[in-house]
Structure 1
Amino acid sequence: MKPSEFPPPVRPGEFISPVTSGPENRIEVGILFVGAGPANLAGAIRLAQLLDQAPEVKAALGEFPIAIVEKGKYPGAHLLAGAILNPVSLKRLFPGLKEGEFPLEVPVQKEALYLLSQEKEYKVPLPPTMRNHGNYVISVSRFGKWLAEQAEALGVSIFSETAGAKLLVENGAIRGVKSGDKGRDRTGAPMENFQEGAEILAKATVLGEGAQGHLTQTAIAHFEITRLNPQTYSLGVKEIWEVPHPPEEVIHTMGWPLRGEKKYNEFGGSFLYPMGGNLVSLGLVVGLGYRNACTSVHDLLQLMKTHPFFRKILEGGRRLENGWGAKTIPEGGYYSVPDRLHLPGGLLVGDSAGFLNVPALKGIHYAMASGMLAAEAIFEALKSGKDLGQPDALSGYDAAVRKSFILRDLHRVRNMRQAFDHGFVPGMLLAGLMTVTGGAFPGWRFQTRRDADEPLLLEKREYPKPDGKYIFDKLTSVHASGNSSRDNQPNHLRLEVRVPEEVGEAWIHMCPANVYEWGTDAEGKKVVRMNPTNCVQCGAIGAKGGRLTPPEGGSGPQYTLT
């Protein structure tokens, strides 16, 4: 039984639209960035820097030369990562900045990797890919907020609480986006405060929506973009704790509570990072290609905290009230990068393009670099007087990315994540050989399949009961995310509700926000029911057989420390 056998109710081309509105419901901008993550914020900043050197080019872009639409309440509201930042792209973007002038929390001084059994931990040598000397622990939410401030200081217009609902396409080129309506009730009927979404037109549209971007998926399908391997994903669940004695070292673990047998296909690991003062960031990341329908990443994190190694660190501490969140991560690597990153009138950047190095646990500096390369390609095309809607007007971006350290780094570890599909121990051995040979071993491409194509088994698993002190349930955790979704807004989740037991249980257990549950229809038949206002837009459902579309702008979590 596979989730992909029960596709979501989505019509082909449903999220594509021509330009239809009159001037009263239209906003014209120069260059539009969709999503206020590190990739697009860095791209918008870099473009602003370049335009300041070419006033005639800037003037031709109109009243809003550069605009960003962000579905969250504010920039950073939906940003979550481990996170350790390699500052190489930040230093290129702001060469004059000195340490202490940007929000890098803690420089990495010490680090360690542990292999966990159920009761013990074993310190093991740190692979070269995981070494972090010269890097910094950050809150990506705070980092995004700071980048947004830098962008606005350069004249970039940021429209928060604005979700990109449809991709505007005319004459084979992207013309911009249609933002989502506001003020509809759960049936879709307009309420007294109804506000129709606006058409935002641009000379070029940069899609940097993250791992499960709604318009990115729409564009990839519409323009028939392919990959050598399908993109696969992992789900990370994270907590921020205040503890009496935080460790000084950056800690990663592998092994328990994940099971190494091939039949479960469980891959992942944990992290514990010092964040300055008495704060630590603790999380667990698990590949969504797992096969047991009863796997719950949120509950595995709670189970992991019962291990003596973690309990000793957390003893006497508390999870912060705004200290929980969840997010999917693209982990397909080099062979899952789209064969084209440029579209007529558009570009793919950051996690939307799959620029994440799984063995190194890094993606932010790749995202920022891709955004900057996108800005430079757009600027060169504008200077040359090109129509950015022409098929190859922005092809310079592809060429620049393929010459950059982004794909060079991803190529070096091109089969390393896929090695663990053979089980934990074989995966470790294969990954070791790949590290030694710089990726030359085995000499061919390891093929993969979509997470939703993995067959499911149904095997009960025991998780610890919440105590409200160290172990937390999903609903309490959703509250700790600052979730602000309006109760009666329309359902933004597309899901086939009549599914076999294995598929329904997989969705129910997978969701870290308790969105899905069993119910009955009018005929008394068992169906999957949804509580969409719980959703923190982590994107996991999109990897495992459903489709996440954007809810009303401003909905979802309000992260500040994640």
Structure 2
Amino acid sequence: MAGHNGVAVPAAYPPPVDSPNEFIKRELDAEDERIEVGVAIIGGGTAGLATANRLLQLLADDEETLERLGEVPVAVIEKAKTCGGHNLSGAVVRPGPLQELYPEYSRQQWREEGWAFGEVTKEAVYMTPTSKHAIRIPPPPPFKNHGNEVVSVSALARFQQRLAEEGGAYVLTETAATQLLVTDGAVRGVRTGDKGRGKDGQPLGNFEPGTDVTAQHTVLAEGCWGSLTGAAIREFGLSEGREPAVWELGVKEVWKVPKPLDRLIHTIGPWPVKIRSKYGQIGGTWIYPMKDARTGDDLVSIGFVIDLEYADATTSAHDLLQQFKLHPLVRKILEGGERIAWGAKALPGGGYWSMPKLTMPGALLVGDSGGMVDTVALKGVHHCIKSGMLAGEAIYAALKRGSTDLSSYEEAVEESSIGTELYQVRNTRQPFQKGFLRGGPIVNLAIATKGKLPGGRLDWHRNDAKPMFIGDTAKGYPKPDGKYTFDKLSSVFITGNATRDDAPNHIRVQKNVPRVIAETWKWMCPAGVYEIPDDAPEDGNVDVVVNYTNCVQCGAITAKGGRLTPPEGGDGPLYQVT
């Protein structure tokens, strides 16, 4: 790729957005044209549904408050075909919050329900210095998972959806929330997106306009990169005094294997990423055993996570995962098996200092929308569940008081296991912005002292502020064989993605950018959304082709100069076991 090794900063090419108010609607439709609900929960993932489940548990014993909420006491608005359809995580979960929220279900029943796959009894952590070698090391404290449970968050969300509906929630799937309703300085609900528009926005024969959904309280549970969460953060200054949000990208496969894996495995590199600081690459992997209690099948969850701080434009989480699978350690686990699922998702990486303020008049943030992920321990699902429970309790208390004040939730999160655990790792990832070799010892010190050293508050810089160059990481990627290593498009195919070809484009990027920015997007996207035409010039600007119907809603583009907005309701992947 010689001849176009210029450097460019993604932030210099901001996405085209009509105005700061594009995602906010300031006038409500007439009363007879809108839908009124008690509590509107935006996002049917683990955090949003935990909020619904906990609130409905409390309302079940309080008929008076339930009646005051009207015909639809709780509405869950989910853009995927079903709850969990866009949800993906590793995931090995600390079971406490799940046991607290669903005390009537034993861990064996979790497995029989099809969303849990076994308790961790053995584990191993390896350094992989080369493509051939693996050195087993004692598990660092954050990596100790004995007693935790391997789960599928997409399947967990479907279980939570069933409980919510049984409890009286109205779950509205295939419905995107595209604008936040804000009047008199308070959130009043959301506007749902139009359906049945063509590529240029024109109404088609099956056109259905969106609707104002007003609520006494609104919960933003959009996960990573929610458009309304971003609008709320800007509108209400929720990130003032905080560090900027930073992000990571995970790509995951699920394999059916001939022999069971008997332990949970993490690798911490440095291979297959490049260790030199100029590349800015920090990544790691997981390999989790999954025993399907219903079928008896032995499954393996395998994934690669890359910090979106990297500088080499040819960095690709999907291709790094394919490269990692060639390691002898992995081959002996997957050999003779069959890939049955694939997916990708960005996740918040900023931790404690990057968490926005969680409440505003009329609304609050839960789970990944609030940045509640411990990227040292690779844990976020139990924080999603716990935050949803605390949100449900805060909303219930406010409803009992007849108040719109939800500030008690902020304090409850801070004093809970969420605040405690995230505070202990508050300075453990920032040193990696200096590179793996320089930052590693500081990170180890922060882990060993539970955040006491280094003291104070270490800062972040935004991922899109990182200057990008076209390096040589891609030279190590294997050629897909379609049996063991795979290309991006065949991977998208098995997600069940059914976005129609004539849907409007939901991805915002500048179409004419320097080659290095275009290369960044092309390689970064696990779904092959961004293409550079074959006849594009080697130097200067190039036109980017955006194949938005491939999009699996991972959100990584928003970290590197673009913006993901909600697709038409029902579009995107339909994850089953991710």
- Give TM-score scaled by structure 2 length: 0.94
The equivalent position to 1:552 in structure 2, one of 553, 557, 568, is 568
- Matches of 2:397 and 2:382, distance apart in 1: 23
- Matches of 2:554 and 2:542, distance apart in 1: 26
- 1:263 match: 278
1:133-162 deviation digits (Å, cap 9, x = unpaired) = 221001111111111111111111100001
- Matches of 2:60 and 2:261, distance apart in 1: 45
- 2:253 match: 239
Q: Which amino acid aligns with 1:476?
A: S
Is 2:463 the partner of 1:435? no
- 1:415 match: 427
Contact map agreement 2:515 2:541 (CA 8 A) in 1: no
Contact map agreement 2:518 2:542 (CA 8 A) in 1: no
The equivalent position to 2:324 in structure 1, one of 294, 304, 325, is 304
1:195-244 deviation digits (Å, cap 9, x = unpaired) = 00111110111001011111101110111222521111100000011122
Change (3 A) 1:195 1:88: same
What secondary structure does 1:151 align onto? helix
- 2:359 match: 342
Mean Cα deviation higher: 144-153 or 223-232: 223-232
The equivalent position to 1:534 in structure 2, one of 528, 547, 550, is 550
The equivalent position to 1:333 in structure 2, one of 311, 335, 351, is 351
Change (3 A) 1:82 1:525: closer
Is 2:267 the partner of 1:253? yes
The Cα shift of 1:495 comes to 0.5
Q: Which amino acid aligns with 1:342?
A: T
Contact map agreement 1:71 1:160 (CA 8 A) in 2: yes
1:239-283 deviation digits (Å, cap 9, x = unpaired) = 011122232100000111011221111112000111113210111
Gap regions ≥5 residues in structure 2? 1-7, 292-296
- 1:289 match: 309
The equivalent position to 2:198 in structure 1, one of 185, 190, 197, is 185
Q: Which amino acid aligns with 2:149?
A: Y
- Matches of 1:20 and 1:377, distance apart in 2: 26
- Matches of 1:162 and 1:315, distance apart in 2: 41
- 2:71 match: 63
- 1:319 match: 339
- Matches of 1:465 and 1:84, distance apart in 2: 31
- 2:14 match: 7
Mean Cα deviation higher: 284-293 or 253-262: 253-262
1:527-548 deviation digits (Å, cap 9, x = unpaired) = 1110110000000001111110
1:58-91 deviation digits (Å, cap 9, x = unpaired) = 1111000011000000011111000011111111
The residue correspondences of 1:127-146 to structure 2 (distance < 5 A) are: 127-146=140-159
What secondary structure does 1:328 align onto? strand
- 1:454 match: 466
- Matches of 1:485 and 1:25, distance apart in 2: 29
What secondary structure does 2:53 align onto? helix
Q: Which amino acid aligns with 2:432?
A: F
- Matches of 2:298 and 2:390, distance apart in 1: 38
Gap regions ≥5 residues in structure 1? none
The equivalent position to 2:531 in structure 1, one of 495, 512, 517, is 517
- 2:25 match: 17
Contact map agreement 1:19 1:199 (CA 8 A) in 2: no
- 2:97 match: 89
What secondary structure does 1:100 align onto? helix
Contact map agreement 2:315 2:520 (CA 8 A) in 1: yes
1:174-202 deviation digits (Å, cap 9, x = unpaired) = 11111111000101000010000111110
- Matches of 1:535 and 1:157, distance apart in 2: 28
Q: Which amino acid aligns with 2:100?
A: R
The residue correspondences of 1:148-159 to structure 2 (distance < 5 A) are: 148-159=161-172
Contact map agreement 1:243 1:278 (CA 8 A) in 2: yes
- Matches of 1:156 and 1:20, distance apart in 2: 24
Contact map agreement 2:514 2:541 (CA 8 A) in 1: no
Is 2:121 the partner of 1:109? yes
Contact map agreement 1:186 1:488 (CA 8 A) in 2: yes
The equivalent position to 2:53 in structure 1, one of 45, 54, 75, is 45
- Matches of 1:483 and 1:174, distance apart in 2: 32
Mean Cα deviation higher: 97-106 or 232-241: 97-106
Q: Which amino acid aligns with 1:235?
A: L
- 1:473 match: 487
- 1:375 match: 392
What is the RMSD computed on CA atoms of the aligned residues? 1.4
The Cα shift of 1:442 comes to 0.9
Aligned length: 552
- Matches of 2:258 and 2:517, distance apart in 1: 42
- 1:396 match: 408
The Cα shift of 1:513 comes to 0.4
The Cα shift of 1:24 comes to 4.7
The Cα shift of 1:23 comes to 4.1
Mean Cα deviation higher: 217-226 or 177-186: 217-226
- Give TM-score scaled by structure 1 length: 0.96
